[in-house]
A and B are shown apart, each in its own frame.
Chain A
């Protein structure tokens, strides 16, 4: 059966193309890497070359099929440099009234108004990772690749080998960054692009940072983004991290987000997936000091044949820390969702508390969900629990609302909205919460995805866009 052989060979072919690309563009990729980063890349490349892509037999990838991705002729552009672009010409954010330091990545490259690397008065550095490798090699060397795990097959080693640009934030000790930093990650290309953005965020001791990460596509073309972010939260630090994903159905997004928390730090992470053809969000948290707290929340609203895969791994390496996961999803049409949450409480991580909750609503018979809330515990003085439910909208609640004169549509929306509310209401930045509530509302009414399905692509919510960035 040659056909099935072809399909199973696909990842192999894709891998070989990528290895060739790496070898041919070696100098370009290594351009401003210091010696240490060069060897990190080489190590990652070696791992990628050996392990290739994960298949259906890889435990963490059992429910997520990658083969459709490998059938496209993606291009990787090593040439584009950080560029000067006025963001307001390209894109208006759905989250308005929000006073932020706004930065943009277009096709994985940093776009800027004045300078690729800004140093604020309080010492905070925000800008392009490409530039940071050049100007602050000592910081980049110390942290880049320090927590991203290379040993798993696939996308993290690939990104580490190929990374060129992305977001770099450095918050020194004892600094509270007043305004949230907003990163808009835009894919805008006429060709099927394969992007490898890499973000590095470091917050020092007693520092505060709120980071809003938005993923968008501007065109309906096929694209594949493989993002890796590393976020380091030092002692008594506080990081509030949001990820809002609203992408076209032809886009594929794999995000690997690595967090490391030191003693006494606090972390909030919210992943809101509104749309996206194929989305995988991996959150990997290492609790490295005692008295930490981490709240990891997620909301996914999927329809058509969209696929979302949330992978959460929390490693309790220190005692007296708390982690709390809450992931909720509504799946309509033929959409499929995966949740895999794993909590590891290591030996001697006494007095740890770890909670995990995953709730799903299926609206159609063709929708699917696979959930795996895992606990692996090696310490006895702990409190851990997990729960998972799959069901539908409560018929009693529906009846109640209908008996109060609400139409079926309104009643359904109200219930779905209430279901999503548990996650959304946890957002602590008020204007952001308000706006996300609006977005969720819009999404549940089906308004957000209409544009993506429409063949006219009139872009009512995407006013202007520039083309040919890659061309």
Chain B
């Protein structure tokens, strides 16, 4: 492992941001700005069912009445919502049976990203639904999933093929009235993923989607909907890298997860949008609403996230534990460096009896960055015998960085137990000294200690992701040693 780390750090020390390149693919764009016409344009372009136009317009009208929230511990230049292109699609939408038919440019993009589709297909057993500029262009393994009755497709395809399912579940966890960015997403979202696991089906492979922001000036608004029927299981991965750009890009996604009786959903994500340069110019604004509901008894949802990218991150993957005996988990590593800002955490809303939740959050801030954990644990009056354990630690590297913890704990019954603990400290001098006197240089020693510190969370990731995540941690902290 140590050897790996060394190699990785050396390799990456030479490049600033490996994933900063730009692929020239013709896109079909909506004119800049946001009006009801833009929404009709998107709806028409995507040939969506009628209920979608109604939904989008309602969301848009509601959004117009809302004010952008300011309570998060982040600062950024005001966003001009009329200066964003709300729809950009690859020119044609090809339907591929195999990889040979895929646009070679696209394949090249993926190769640069280090995710060769073929290899992944065979070695990892991962079905990849690659989202390129909001429209999904390649879906693999679809057939073998279809045999089990699993639906894993882009959101637009789902709207064509299974409108009833989408209509039934969409916006039931995150209504368009939820918050400013959720309303915006509901009005203009272009694509995303849809997963449906039928009753009693154990999904045989990890489902994975790679997101990329591609065309300049395109805000990407994705929407993911995962429905796990009674007794089913699915593990879903989402990872993202973005090309280097100088102007800020807005990313306002929605993820909704619905787990029925005895179902289990594991959602993992590695987020590495472009964080901006060392002076803090450029970079992605990542304002995401993620929420899952354990609807009936014994359901379980688990969020695992590794956050290394974005100039500004503002997201709280949340869980509503509605059924009795439900379980919620949140594991997070958030790294900020240079001028990055992150305000992230979770909400655990306990409504069912005997519900359990665990929160492990590890924040690492270096350079001039600010990293905040903000979380809510709410035990309602009915959630008797419920249990929560939260641990959120912060590690500070460098005297210009900031680490903040804002936990909210609301308990309204006597039989629930809530425990919260948090520590903030700098990297241990003893550990550093030990590593140094064993001949490990400073940068590697820090990489090692940080990886050890984040181990609790990293080990929750699926194997392929764990490797990538470790690389990312080391890259993100490059140059932070003073």
Contacts and interface: CB of A to CB of B under 8 A. Distances in A.
A375 B425 CA distance: 12
B409 A370 contact: yes
A389 B407 contact: no
A391 B405 CA distance: 22
Contacts of B403: 375, 377
Interface in B352-403: 379, 381, 384, 394, 396-403
A385 interface: yes
A381 B71 CA distance: 28
Given A364-B414, A368-B412, A375-B404, A385 B421 contact: yes
A325 B397 CA distance: 26
A436 interface: no
B193 to A, nearest CB: 36
B387 to A, nearest CB: 10
Contacts of B381: 365-366
Contacts of B397: 380
Contact of A380 (B406, B408, B426): B426
B423 interface: yes
A200 B384 CA distance: 47
A381 B426 contact: yes
B418 A368 contact: no
Contacts of B232: none
Contact of B422 (A369, A379, A387): A387
Contacts of A244: none
Nearest to B482: A380
Given A362-B414, A369-B410, A378 B402 contact: yes
B374 to A, nearest CB: 9
Contact of B409 (A371, A375, A377, A379): A371
A362 B411 contact: yes
A386 B73 CA distance: 19
Contacts of A382: 396, 424-426
B393 to A, nearest CB: 9
Given A362-B414, A365-B414, A377-B396, A370 B420 contact: no
A390 interface: yes
Contact of B399 (A362, A363, A367, A381): A381
Contacts of B421: 385-388
A219 to B, nearest CB: 33
Nearest to B370: A378
Contact of A384 (B71, B418, B419, B424): B424
Contacts of B246: none
Interface in B44-78: 71, 73
Nearest to B421: A387
Nearest to B420: A388
A336 B410 CA distance: 11
Contacts of A362: 411, 413-414
Given A362-B411, A368-B411, A381-B426, A389 B420 contact: yes
A375 B73 CA distance: 12
A348 interface: yes
B347 to A, nearest CB: 14
Contact of B424 (A360, A372, A377, A389): A377
B117 to A, nearest CB: 43
Contact of A391 (B398, B407, B417): B417
Nearest to A391: B417
* Majority secondary structure, A binding face: strand
A377 B410 contact: no
A381 B399 CA distance: 7
A71 B275 CA distance: 52
A390 B417 contact: yes
B410 A365 contact: no
A91 interface: no
A31 interface: no
A374 B404 contact: yes
A367 B379 CA distance: 12
Nearest to B414: A362
A392 B384 CA distance: 12
A350 interface: yes
Contacts of A381: 399, 426
B411 A390 contact: yes
Interface string B141-158: 000000000000000000
Given A381-B399, A391-B417, A365 B384 contact: yes
A363 B415 CA distance: 9
Contacts of A347: 399-400
Interface in A133-153: none
B401 A375 contact: no
Nearest to B400: A347
Contact of A375 (B400, B415, B419, B424): B424
A380 B401 contact: yes
B416 interface: yes
B343 to A, nearest CB: 12
Contacts of A55: none
Nearest to A338: B410
A408 interface: no
A343 to B, nearest CB: 9
A371 B424 CA distance: 19
A118 B394 CA distance: 52
Contacts of A384: 423-425
A383 interface: yes
Contact of A372 (B73, B394, B402, B406): B406
Contacts of A360: 411
A372 B408 contact: yes
A348 B394 CA distance: 18
B420 A375 contact: no
B420 A350 contact: no
Question: Which of B400, B407, B412, B414 has the most chain A CB atoms inside 10 A of its CB?
Answer: B414
A363 B401 contact: no
Contacts of B384: 365
B70 to A, nearest CB: 12
Nearest to B394: A377
Contact of A390 (B402, B405, B409): B409
A373 interface: yes
Given A350-B399, A377-B402, A388-B421, 13 more contacts: A360-B411, A363-B414, A364-B414, A372-B406, A375-B403, A375-B424, A377-B403, A378-B401, A380-B398, A382-B396, A382-B426, A384-B423, A386-B405
Interface of B: 71, 73, 379, 381, 384, 394, 396-426
15 contacts: A360-B411, A365-B384, A367-B412, A369-B411, A370-B411, A371-B408, A372-B409, A375-B424, A376-B73, A379-B399, A380-B401, A382-B426, A384-B424, A385-B423, A391-B416
Interface of A: 59, 347-348, 350, 360, 362-392
